[in-house]
Chain A
Amino acid sequence: MQSAQTSFENLRKDFPILKRTVRENKTLVYLDNASTTQKPNQVIDAINDYYRNHNANIHRAVYALAEEATELYENSREKIANFINVKDKTEIIFVRGTTEAINLVAYAWGRDHIKEGDIIVTTEYEHHSNIVPWQLLTQEKGAKLEYIGMDDNGELTLDDLDKYLATGKVKLVTFSLMSNVLGTISDADTIISKCKAAGVLTLVDGAQAVPHMKVDIEKLGCDFFAFSGHKMLGPTGIGILWAKKSVLETMSPFHGGGDMIREVHKYETTWNDLPYKFEAGTPNIADVVGFGAAIDYLSNIGMTAIRQHEIELTSYAIEKLSQVKGLHIYGTKDISKRGGVISFNFADVHPHDVAQIIDEEGIAIRSGHHCAQVLMERLNVAATSRASFYIYNTREEIDKLINSLNKVARIFKL
C-alpha cells in the first residue's frame, strides 16, 4: 500500500516514457491523462512476454500453448471482474473500448428493445461516444433522445430526469460517471435509484471514473457499464462492457462469426454461452493480458490511495490556477465532486495557442472540444484547455504548467 506523496513519485521509475525529453531538451510533463495514460514496464513486459512465450489462439485447440493463452486471457477477465466487484465473470465482455461497448448496447440491445415513441435519456456532458450511437438508434427507430441539463457549476440538473421519467416512455438512461471535460462526478446513486423506481435501465460510462476511483458495480446497481483499458495504464484497443446477466440474456448478438456460436448449419445458428456470444472472432488476446497487468498494478497501489493522490494534486492545481490572472476554470471547485480533470480558458487566448506555446516547454495538455461538442455549446465556448492528472504526476509538474502559462501571458501581452 502506498499512501504518502513520495511513494507516488517512486512510481515514475516504472514508466519509461516519463524519462524522455521533447522539443528542445525539455522533460516531458504529461498532463493529458483523460485522453490516454502512459504505460508502466509491467504492462509493456506482460504484452511482450505473451508474444514471446505464449502466443496462440484461444478456446480452439488442445495443445499446450493454446491452453496457456486461454488461461492468461481468462485470468485477466477474472482480475477485471474482481476489480469492479462483479461476482459473475461471464458478465464481463471484452470489446475495443468504451466506444465499442456503448455501440454494442445500442445495436444488440437497442435494436430489439427500442421502438417508435420511446425515449432514451443522456446528459449534456457526455462524450460523443455516449451521444452519437443513441442518435443513430433513435433516428432509425423513430424514438427520441433527451438530455439531462447541467447547471453553471457543472453538475447535472436531475429535475430534468424526473420530468422525462414521468412520461413513462423512457427505456434507457445513460450517463458518464465522471465528465471527461469538467471532471464532475455524477450523482449516480440518485440517478440509478430514480431509474430503478421507474423500471428504467441504466448505462454508466465509466471511462473516466474506473481509472481514478474505487468503482463497485454491485453497489452502483446499473444495468450496463463501459470502460477502456488505455485510460488506466493498459494498452489501447481493449475495453470492457459489463451488463447484468438477465439483461444480456435478452440481447441478440453484435457481430457474427467464430467463437460466438454453438452450432452453425447452412441456414441457422445457435449461440455460444456468455460472454462468448458477444466476443466474435479472434479477440485482442495480447492486450487483454496487458490490461490484466494494469489491473494488478493499480490494485497494488490501491484505488483509495490513487483517489487521495489525485484529490491532493487537483486541489493544488485549482489553487495555483485560480491565482493566474485572467484564467477561468470550468466546473465545480468542490473537490469531493470532481476528479483530476481541469478545463480552463485563459483570457482571450485560444486553447490551441495555449497548448502550442506550452508544448515548447515539454508540457502536454489537450485543447479543443474533447469530443464533447454538446457540452461546449452549453458552456458557450468553441474549445477549452484541459489538464488531467494521474498517479505519476507531481506538484512540480503543476508548477511547470503555471510557469508556462506565464509565458503565454507574456506573448499575448495579458
Chain B
Amino acid sequence: MSNADIYHEMIIDYSRNPINYGKIEDHDVTFHDSNPLCGDSIDIDMKIDGDKVSDIKFHGKGCAICMACSSVLTEIAKGKNIKDVRNISKTDVLGELGLENLQAVRIKCALLSLKVLKSALYSYLGKHLEDSSDVDKLKEEAASLY
C-alpha cells in the first residue's frame, strides 16, 4: 500500500480526534496491552449491562493507524451484544478504513485494539461464568490475531 492509500483523510482525522477516547471510571472490565516492537500502547474500558456492551472507551498512545483503528473498533462495538462483539473480525476493522492490504509491519498497529478488546472480553467472561473452554478459545483467538 502506498502512503496515499494509508494516510487518507479519515485516518488523519481519527488520529487527531479519536472517537470514544477516554476512561470509564466505573467500568466493569478494563484491559491493557502494548506492542513491544513499536511502542503503541492501548487501554480499553467497558461497561457491560446484561449481555450488552453499553459503553466502551479507549486511551493510550499510538500512531495514526493505531488511533484510527481503535476509534473505528470502539464505534463498531458500542451498544452491541457480547456475542456480536466476540465475532468482530480483523477485516471488520481494516475494511472500515480501507486498510485490508496494510503491510505486515503495520498490521500490529491496526489490530492492537482488537486484541485488547478480545482480551478484555475473556477476562470479563472468565469471571462471569460460561463454559471455560469457550473462554480459552477466546483467549487463543486474542493471542493469535497477528
Chain A residues in the interface with B (C-beta under 8 A) = 348-353, 356-357, 360, 367-369, 376, 382-383, 407, 411-413
Contact = CB atoms under 8 A, between A and B. Distances in A.
Given A350-B64, A369-B39, A411 B2 contact: no
Contacts of B61: 350, 382
A356 B65 CA distance: 11
B18 interface: no
A352 B7 contact: no
Nearest to A350: B63
Interface of B: 2-3, 6-7, 12, 15-16, 37-41, 61-66, 106, 109
B38 A356 contact: no
A353 B109 CA distance: 11
B39 A356 contact: no
Contact of A383 (B2, B12, B39): B39
A413 B39 contact: no
Nearest to B8: A411
Contact of A411 (B7, B39, B41, B63): B7
A356 B106 contact: yes
Given A350-B63, A352-B109, A382 B3 contact: no
Listed from nearest, the 7 A-B pairs whose CB atoms lie closest are A352-B63, A350-B63, A382-B61, A383-B39, A353-B64, A411-B7, A369-B39
B100 to A, nearest CB: 17
A352 B106 CA distance: 9
B38 A352 contact: yes
A353 B65 contact: yes
Contacts, number: 48
B62 A350 contact: yes
Given A357-B7, A369-B39, A413 B63 contact: no
A11 to B, nearest CB: 30
A368 B37 contact: yes
A368 B7 contact: no
10 contacts: A351-B63, A352-B38, A352-B63, A353-B7, A353-B64, A376-B39, A383-B39, A407-B3, A411-B7, A411-B12
Contacts of B6: 356
A395 B61 CA distance: 34
Contacts of A367: 38
A79 B77 CA distance: 63
Given A382-B41, A383-B39, A356 B3 contact: yes
Contact of A368 (B38, B64, B106): B38
A412 B65 CA distance: 13
B44 to A, nearest CB: 17
Contacts of B106: 352, 356
Given A353-B63, A382-B40, 10 more contacts: A350-B15, A350-B66, A351-B63, A352-B63, A353-B7, A356-B6, A360-B2, A367-B38, A368-B39, A411-B12
A220 B67 CA distance: 47
A412 B2 CA distance: 15
Contacts of A368: 37-39
Contacts of A350: 15, 61-64, 66
A407 B7 CA distance: 12
B8 to A, nearest CB: 9
B62 to A, nearest CB: 7
A33 to B, nearest CB: 20
Given A352-B63, A360-B2, A383 B38 contact: yes
A28 to B, nearest CB: 17
A369 B38 CA distance: 7
Contacts of A360: 2-3
Contacts of A369: 39
A357 to B, nearest CB: 5
Contacts of B41: 382
A162 to B, nearest CB: 34
A348 B37 CA distance: 20
A349 to B, nearest CB: 8
